[in-house]
Amino acid sequence: MAVPPPVVASVRAAWRWQWQQLMGGLGPADAEGNYCRPAGAFTVLPPLPATAGTSAGHVLIVGRSCPWAHRAWLVWTLRQLQSTIDLVVVEPDPGAGRWQFNPPFEGAQALADLYRSCGAPAAAPASVPVLYDRAERRIVVNESARLIELLNRWPAPHGVPDLEPADQSERLAAWRQRLQGEVNDGVYRCGFARNQAAYNRAESALFEALEAAEAELQAAGPWLCGTAPSLADVVLFPTLIRLELVYAPLFGCSRRPLWQFPALWRWRARFHGIEGVAATCFPQAWRQDYFGALFPLHPSGIIPAGPDLTTLVNASPLEMMR
């Protein structure tokens, strides 16, 4: 028996109201429906700690599915900081909507407990990445854009590359600013948009930025800022490696598949091929956490089938067309 139209209209209105309430907690928005990333608690770039070169004196706390943590994990890897900064991976707790330690860390069961013990306001989100000082029992910084700058200045083994070279400073800053707003945040502004106009703005800006990156790589590659990887490449990679696996199907970032950007496609494969980078990529965890945990966007919790990461980093654009 067909459902009466008034029932359909009532259910649809009720669901939209509930969706708006849930989205308010998941991704706050401004009056025009544009997603606004919540402010963090430990966001100021600190000076390099006096104990930065001490063995295991600091801990980098990351989560496998978080792209902001991924960029810090990448810098930690590329700068070979394993001897002075330990790595702790927190696990998602979908039921409570938080990150948890397994086993407990510094007496904390959940990341939120560590934040509160370090003086974070009760309303501040307990997010990753986090750089923690063991000796002083404090969070040094958790804003990923600042954290990767600090990690790039951290004492590193001889010969390790500088990801923020002085001769590329202006170019690097311009790319990082654009990528942060239009690509890294941009995919979330698409997925968390409250209305069609907000989505259209975010989606247009996202693909305009990708087109600009494509043109830059075509003209001056192989990297965004010259002949070696930089922080600009670091901040772009976590978003683009998740594009087909998460952001295109879940956030509606699907106007053009990445294989239609051949220079970006080759760039992504090249970055993935850098020693240590593949070990920071967890496609199963990404899809499990995004599709399984973002209830307002995907109420069923069903994890759809998707492309294999090996194909995405090994196939050529021509092969993807077949």
- How confident is the model at residue 11, as a pLDDT? 75
* Burial track 140-176 (b if 16+ CB lie within 10 A, e otherwise): bbbbbbbbbbbbbebebeeeeeebbeeebeebbeebb
For residue 16, the model assigns a pLDDT of 75
d(CA 21, CA 61): 30
CA distance 247 to 207: 13
> From first to last of its 322 residues, what are the pLDDT tens digits of the chain?
677 888 788 878 876 777 677 777 677 889 898 988 887 778 788 899 999 989 989 999 999 999 999 999 999 999 999 999 999 999 998 777 889 999 999 999 999 999 999 998 888 889 999 999 999 999 999 999 999 999 999 999 999 999 999 999 999 999 999 999 999 999 999 999 999 999 999 999 999 999 999 999 999 989 999 899 999 999 999 999 999 999 999 999 999 999 999 999 999 999 999 999 999 999 999 999 999 888 888 888 899 998 999 999 998 887 776 6
Taking each helix axis as running N to C, give the angle between helix 196-220 and helix 262-272, from 0 to 180 degrees, rounded to the nearest 10: 80
- Burial level of 266, CB count in 10 A (0-12/13-18/19+)? middle
Six-digit token string for 145: 């854009």
CA dist., res. 80 & res. 52, Å (int): 14
User: pTM above 0.85?
Assistant: yes
The pLDDT of residue 322: 66
pLDDT of residue 123: 80
Kind of pairing, strands 58-63 and 130-133? antiparallel
